[in-house]
Chains A and B, each alone.
Chain A
Amino acid sequence: MKRHLVSAADLTRDDALLILDTAEELAQLSGRAVKKLPTLRGRTVVNLFFEDSTRTKTSFEVAEKRLSADVINFSAKGSSVSKGESLKDTALTLQAMGADAVVIRHHASGAPARLAQSDWLHGSVINAGDGTHEHPTQALLDAFTMRRHLNPGLGQDLAGRRVTIVGDVLHSRVARSNVHLLTTLGAQVTFVAPPTLLPIGIENWPCEISYSLDSVLPKTDALMMLRVQRERMNAAFFPTEREYSRRYGLDGTRMAQLPGHAIVMHPGPMVRGMEITAEVADSPRCTVVEQVANGVSVRMAVLYLLLGGATLNDARTDSVETAQ
């Protein structure tokens, strides 16, 4: 595995399966009285969040604490570059504090990539969502959830499984990470959205495109509904909320068209009544809550695999000691 997790495209099939298998082992922990491992004792993990995200941040924090890492929450919201400190200075500060890993959520696409490529800090960079680019740990937890339902077992991939992702693909980092990872794991991905919410050039992505939800439902093993942010309303991506709901929302009738084994997923937070009705959200086929639990296991796996063994920081410490 690479030293950083910036894009789901960085993961080979072996990397991805190693993470999923490790997460599967770590998932056992949640059933124990002592939900903690000493593995990352003495490692410092910084959660650097430039954007509000209660669930992702909490999930990472739980994962870090279960591995006994020292957790520092560095909330940088509002300190955008126009006012306050630059990303570079923040990174230099974290480096000086001895961060072994930085979990970064940023509103600008590419900010984690910048950190990873810079010499501003030496620790691992874990992308917790950057702009409209990627959210690799979300894709990992989605794949983990799908595997449990559709092809359970250590070492198993998602070969031949049909995943349909519905909604604002244009602005979705979840969709981007998922198309990379799911394709790597052998799944067939179909995006369903109004043409206005699909990026230019998507015809070259490794996925199918459909403008009609109803036609793909019977051929779907996992259906992922993306959140549609209300602010898109004002930018003429679709005429009205109601029209969007009618054409691309998931209600009980549509859910009934799915094959019996199919699951309904949502990265959260859900906008009930918009892309998903309450009936679907509360149905047993909906894995939203399970996805949250799986998120902790997957993030533990990523943290362990990036930080549990020897890291670049260790090598640097060694060389300093030798120099003295």
Chain B
Amino acid sequence: MTTHQDSTPRPPHQVLDGTDIARVVTRIAHEIVERAKGAEDVVLLGIHTRGVHLARRLHGRLAQITGREIPLGTLDITMYRDDLRLKPARALEHTEIPPGGIDGKLVILVDDVLFSGRTIRAALDALNDIGRPRAVQLAVLVDRGHRELPIRADYVGKNLPTSLREAVQVRLSDSDGVDAVLVGDRDYTARSSQALASQPSEPHLPE
């Protein structure tokens, strides 16, 4: 908990480093194998942008553990967002459904931070248009609370209680050059390129 009282925005501090993230990914992979009974019918779908990187890492771990290639895909939920009209139209990312499709499969959505739940809501809508999975589960690196929809994660790397004035940044070497999870004041980050709006329903991360 932050005891920070004065109004000077606090610079971000690191809560997970590269080693922590690697450990967390390994643990989630084991949990998936355990709970999905060998992950026979699992399909991993990473949500753009950092969810895709995490899904790829999970995929690698699962291959090591199970000795099999788990189907891996990506999901762009832009067209399903509920806040499209708040910003100019965004460029689309690539959605790639594995050749076997998702019908009858256990789809595990992978994202970096679970916050309001709106991104996952959009992802569920997108899945609905793509096919009919047997079940859908959610794996996230960080759950920072403040849900606005009845959504929870099945696999959580780290629960990170935050206040709404804080911003959580996930950095992954694939896109950011380094693996780290940082927490800092929203007002502080607002002055950097990581501009964040004042409502939790806003994206919790720079896009």
Contact = CB atoms under 8 A, between A and B. Distances in A.
| Physical interaction between A and B | yes
Interface of A: 18, 21-22, 25-26, 28, 32-34, 36-39, 154, 304-311, 314
A28 B129 CA distance: 12
B129 A36 contact: yes
B88 interface: yes
A236 B152 CA distance: 74
A38 B79 contact: yes
A21 B84 contact: no
Nearest to B122: A38
Contact of B87 (A36, A306, A310): A310
B80 A37 contact: yes
Best-buried of B87, B90, B129 by chain A (most CB within 10 Å) = B129
A304 B79 contact: yes
Given A38-B79, A304-B79, A309 B129 contact: no
A316 to B, nearest CB: 13
A16 B8 CA distance: 44
A28 B92 CA distance: 12
Contact of A22 (B80, B86, B91, B128): B91
Given A37-B79, A304-B79, A22 B92 contact: yes
B91 A21 contact: yes
A26 B129 CA distance: 13
Contact of B86 (A25, A26, A37, A310): A310
A33 B86 CA distance: 30
A18 B88 CA distance: 13
A18 B130 contact: no
B92 A21 contact: yes
A18 B130 CA distance: 24
8 contacts: A18-B91, A25-B93, A34-B128, A34-B129, A38-B80, A38-B125, A39-B80, A308-B90
B135 to A, nearest CB: 20
B79 A305 contact: no
B84 A308 contact: yes
Given A38-B79, A38-B125, A304 B130 contact: no
A39 B79 contact: yes
B166 interface: no
Nearest to A300: B79
Contacts of A36: 129
Contacts of A306: 89
Contacts of A21: 91-92
Contacts of A305: 89
A205 B139 CA distance: 56
A309 B95 contact: no
A37 B129 contact: yes
Contacts of A38: 79-80, 125
Interface string B55-98: 00000000000000000000010011000111111111111000
Nearest to A67: B79
A309 B92 contact: no
A38 B126 CA distance: 9
A111 B84 CA distance: 30
Contacts of B93: 25
Nearest to B90: A309
A26 B94 CA distance: 10
B129 A32 contact: yes
Contacts of B87: 309-310
A25 B126 CA distance: 14
